[in-house]
Amino acid sequence: AAPRPAHGCGSGALLGRFGVLLQALLALCAFSTLMLKRFKEPKAERRPWRIWFYDTSKQAIGALFIHFANVFLSDLTEEDPCSLYLINFILDATLGMLLIWLGVKVVSWIVQHKKYTYLVFGEYGDPPQAAAWIGQCILYLLIMVFEKTVISLVLLIPGWTKLQQILLGYIPNPQLELVLVMFVVPFIVNAIMFWVVDSLIMRKYKQKDTLDINGSTETPRARGTEESQVLLSPDMDFDQSESDQDIPGLRGTNQKMKQPSYQVVI
C-alpha cells in the first residue's frame, strides 16, 4: 500500500475526539436552521412542534446515514480521509441533491397513485399517527441509500485524486483541515440542503375553501369568477321584475278599454 501523504488528516482522524466534537457542533448548528425555518413560516401555516419533529427527524436520519457512510468510505483507502470526505460531501450537495429531489418526486407519485395516504410526505393523519411517520422515514432512508449508492459509483471514475490535491493539498495543518472539512463547509452546505429538502417533504398548505350560506363549498377563484359574471351580465332580473309589475296595470287598462259602453235611449 502506498504511504499516506505528509499533509492532511491521519487514519481515524474523522472519528477521533476532536473530529467527534466538530461533528456534534455541526449537527447542533445545522439543525438549528430547521428551527429558524419553522419560525419564518407564516403563522397561519406554521407547523405544530409534533409535525415539525416528524418532518425534520426524517432529515436527521438521512443526514446521519450519509455522514457515517462518508466517514466509512473516506477511511477505506490510503488517501487523505479529509479530502475524500470533502469530495463525497460536495457530490452529495450537488448531484446527490438532484437525486434526492428526483427520488422524492418519484416516491410521492407512486404513493399517491396507489392511494397510500399515510405514506405521502408530510401527511400524518388527524391526529398525527406515529405509524405514518415510521413509514415515511423508511421511504426517505431508501432514497438516501439510492443516492449514496449512485455517488459511490461516481467516485469509482478515475481522476478524483488530482481533485483531492487541489482542494486541500495547500493546508499543512491537519486540525485546520479537519475544521474546514467537518465544520465550516458542511455547515454552510447543510443549512442550504436542510432548508430545501424540508420544503420538499413538508405538507403543502393550500388555500382553504370557503363555505357559502347554502352549505356548498366554493373556492375564492370561483367566487370571484361568479361575481365578475354577475357584474358583467345585463340586469335581466330587474327588467323582468319591472315588466311583471307593469303587466297587471296594462291588463287592467286594456280590460277597461275593451269594456262595451252602454247608452240609455229614452
Assess if residue 258 is contained within a domain. Answer: no
Domain that holds residue 180: 13-207
SS3 at position 202: coil
Provide the 10 A C-beta neighbour count for residue 54. Answer: 24
Assess if residue 233 is contained within a domain. Answer: no
CA separation for the pair 52, 201 (Å, rounded): 11
| CA angle centred on 86, ends 82 and 90, rounded to 5° | 175
Assess if residue 60 is contained within a domain. Answer: yes
pLDDT by residue for the chain (266 residues), tens only, comes to 444 444 457 667 777 788 888 888 888 887 788 888 888 888 888 888 888 888 888 888 988 899 889 888 887 777 778 888 888 888 998 899 999 999 999 998 999 898 888 888 888 888 888 899 999 999 999 999 999 999 999 988 877 767 766 776 677 777 888 888 888 888 888 888 888 888 877 775 543 333 343 444 444 444 444 444 544 444 444 445 444 555 555 455 455 445 555 444 44
Assess if residue 73 is contained within a domain. Answer: yes
Residue with cell 461516481: 154
Q: Single out the residue of 122, 141, 135 nearest to residue 200, CA to CA.
A: 122
Q: Single out the residue of 114, 136, 141, 110 nearest to residue 125, CA to CA.
A: 136
For residue 48, say if its preceding peptide bond is cis, omega within 30 degrees of 0: no
Assess if residue 89 is contained within a domain. Answer: yes
Q: How many helices (H) and strands (E) does the chain have?
A: 10, 2
Q: Single out the residue of 150, 139, 36 nearest to residue 91, CA to CA.
A: 150
CA separation for the pair 224, 214 (Å, rounded): 17
Confirm if 48 and 42 have CB atoms less than 8 A apart.
no
Assess if residue 169 is contained within a domain. Answer: yes
CA separation for the pair 132, 111 (Å, rounded): 12
CA separation for the pair 130, 62 (Å, rounded): 18
CA separation for the pair 154, 92 (Å, rounded): 11
For 212, residues 6+ apart whose C-beta sits below 8 A from its C-beta are 218
What Rg do the C-alpha atoms of the chain give, in angstroms? Answer: 35
The number of folded domains in the chain is 1
Q: What is the pLDDT of residues 91-103, one digit of tens each?
A: 998 899 999 999 9
Cell of 78: 490510503
pTM beyond 0.75: the answer is no
CA separation for the pair 1, 173 (Å, rounded): 24
Q: What is the pLDDT of residues 43-64, one digit of tens each?
A: 888 888 888 888 888 888 988 8
Assess if residue 221 is contained within a domain. Answer: no
The pLDDT score that the predictor gives to residue 106 is 93
The pLDDT score that the predictor gives to residue 147 is 94
Assess if residue 71 is contained within a domain. Answer: yes
